[in-house]
Each structure stands twice: as C-alpha cells, then as structure tokens.
Amino acid sequence: MARPSVNGVTLGIALLSMLLIINGAVAKDTIYNGQSLNTNEYLENGIYRFIMQGDCNLVLYKNGNVPLWNSRTAGRGGACMATLQNNGNLVILSDTGIVWTSNTYRGPNSYRLVVQGDGNVVIYGAALWATNTAQGRKKLL
C-alpha cells in the first residue's frame, strides 16, 4: 500500500486552511472574553447560527433562514464586529463606534458567550444575558 507523500499531506493541510480562511466562519459555539465575531463570522450549534452580518446586524438564525433574534443594528455602520469584552459586556463596534451593547458589564472576570443546543445564546460568568430564544423540547411519541 502506498503511503501519501509529505508534500501531498502538506498540500492537503494548506488547502484545508485556505478553505477555512476563505469561508470566514468561526464554526464553533463559544467565544471567550476578549474575542470577537468579525463580519460574516458566526457561532453555530446544530441548527442555530449566531452571525455578525455584513450589514452590521447580529442575528440568531434557526435552520439557516428563520431569525429568532437580532440586534436591530442593520445599516448602523461598516466593518462591524461583535466583541465580548473582559467585563462581560457584549458590544457591536463599527467604524463609527459602539452601535449596540448588551449592558451586561460586571467587572473583570472570565466570561464566555455560548450558542446553546436549545437555541438560546447566553453570556456566562454567571448567566448575565440571553436572547431568551430557547426552543421547547418536542414530545416523543
């Protein structure tokens, strides 16, 4: 059986890395304080996607096209990013400044924002903020 060459493996890794960079997606369900979602980056858990759109609106979608929550910041600036600050506050920054805030600042600590499997997006340190979009469980027949 032939073994792949080092050059072939290296090329494969390089191509995979390029695809991830081109895609622009974070493709995980959590960010930590000090981290951001830049334009077109998102967090995802199952059928739920929390995306910083190019129009500066931060939106939680179900099944790719059903909006459950949004920051109502469409058109409020360019080069927008959602940042979880070191004080627990989630902010949307644009080229014009802060355009939205979760108002959850609690002081320096370790925080994380999680897209949960039930469709709720929550900032933890203690639960500080949520979209309140948890979807009920379906009854099993």
Listed by start position, the domains of the chain span: 25-130
- Report pLDDT for 13: 54
Question: What would the pLDDT profile of 98-137 be if each residue is shown by its tens digit?
Answer: 999 999 988 888 999 999 999 999 999 966 688 999 887 6
Three-state secondary structure of the chain: CCCCCHHHHHHHHHHHHHHHHHHCCCCECEEECCCEEECCCEEEECCEEEEECCCCCEEEEECCCEEEEECCCCCCCCCCEEEECCCCCEEEEECCEEEEECCCCCCCCCCEEEECCCCCEEEECCCCEECCCCCCCCCCC
Given a contact cutoff of 8 angstroms between Cβ atoms, the answer to whether 87 and 108 are in contact is yes
25-130: CATH homologous superfamily?
Bulb-type lectin domain (2.90.10.10)
Mean pLDDT across the chain: 84
pLDDT at 15 over 90: no
Rounded average pLDDT over 56-84: 96
